[in-house]
Amino acid sequence: MLDIAEELNRWVEQGRDFAIATVVAVSGSGPRQPGAALAVDSDGTAIGSVSGGCVEGAVYELCQQALQDGRSVVERFGYSDEDAFAVGLTCGGIIDILVTPIPADAPGRGVFAAALAAAASGEAAAVARVIDAPSELLGNALLVHPDGRYEGTLGGRPELDRTAAAEAAALLDAGRTGTVVIGEDGSRCAALDDETPTVTLLVESSVPAPRMIVFGAIDFAAALVRIGKFLGYHVTVCDARPVFATRGRFPEADDLVVDWPHQYLEREHEAGGLDARTVLCVLTHDTKFDVPLLRLALRLPVAYVGAMGSRRTHEDRNRRLREVGVTDLELARLRSPIGLDLGARTPEETALSIASEIVANRRGGRGVSLTGAHTPIHHDGRQQPPTGRIGSVA
């Protein structure tokens, strides 16, 4: 749901009645992950997607039906020879979809409105929704804040709400979207037995956009800024030379910093401005910048560290890094020469090569051609995807 928060937030502000269809579980080669959503308003306008096109028509009709009868439902869509090209998934996967009506006068509308407003403005928050439970609880939601505060109720049961909020806060802290099972009485998973009625929740996390920090204000950096923004990163360009780090050369960068790269990175680390989703791209191609910067970067808990340079530059840089105390284990984290082998020449092609490696690193891909590879098309994400809204499912 939060993947279309900006559009849905406008619908809320306009007072529209609408229904949301959300992917809550995926098996096999599902085209969209849990949290992906399609919304339909009372005029029949649709936004978002739950399947990339395979079952959109059928889900659209479910949303319209939910608006008419006011009931939440969970429907399963999967492959079958008879109707695969009608309402089935042609890719062979199975997806479960929760459809929830949210009319303007719904009692729980305020929770959804607050969640959408938070996600649209880039604030950290999580929404926990009931996806499997007695029918009177289905679709109920809590909005959970990073400090543990929560709004709404899953059914007027304080213990259930408190446990759900605690579980959602844990997923939010990790920047993840996923499902959790708790007891109707508020008991946690470890305390459940075969006789305890359970409630299954889908927790969607909204977190600020992940960071991409590009060191070196060169033409390749300008292209990388553009593709970084396209992928949903908050992009910073840092260079010690003010003549190159200018807004005119990097109009799309979120931040421009004139400073020695290693000094800026150290300040950001000390201020808590880096996390496990942060990617660092070192394009300075100059040992006086590269060595102190990489010495620090390779010791930080970030998602990716890549450095530009020829293979000869790479070997020389590794030697210099070892001389200042960088271990082989730390050097093993360095992606250098940066990027995948695409035969790239231009700044734009090189930026695509770097971005491809970042995506492969995040998603667990191998960077090989899918043709004849006999490898999975979709991999389980290991990091928070860079939408700034929906996390990976683990």
Q: What is the pLDDT of residues 107-165, one digit of tens each?
A: 888 888 998 998 888 888 899 989 888 778 888 889 999 888 999 999 888 999 999 99
User: 228 or 56: which carries more pLDDT confidence?
Assistant: 228
pLDDT tens profile 288-307: 999 999 999 999 999 999 99
- State yes or no: pLDDT of 316 exceeds 80: yes
Threshold 0.85, pTM exceeds: no
How far apart are alpha carbons 265 and 297 in whole angstroms? 8
**Structural element, H or E, at residue 152:** strand 150-153
- pLDDT for the residue numbered 30: 59
DSSP string, 292-340: HHHHHHTTS--SEEEE---HHHHHHHHHHHHHTT--HHHHTTEE-S-S-
pLDDT tens profile 337-387: 999 999 999 999 999 999 999 999 988 888 888 787 666 666 554 444 333
Six token digits for residue 16: 């529209």
CB 208 within 8 A of CB 275: no
Six token digits for residue 98: 């929760």
> What are the start and end residues of each CATH 3.40.50.720 domain in the chain?
211-363
Give the right CATH number for 211-363 from 3.40.50.1400, 3.40.50.720, 3.40.710.10, 3.40.109.10.
3.40.50.720
- pLDDT for the residue numbered 377: 61
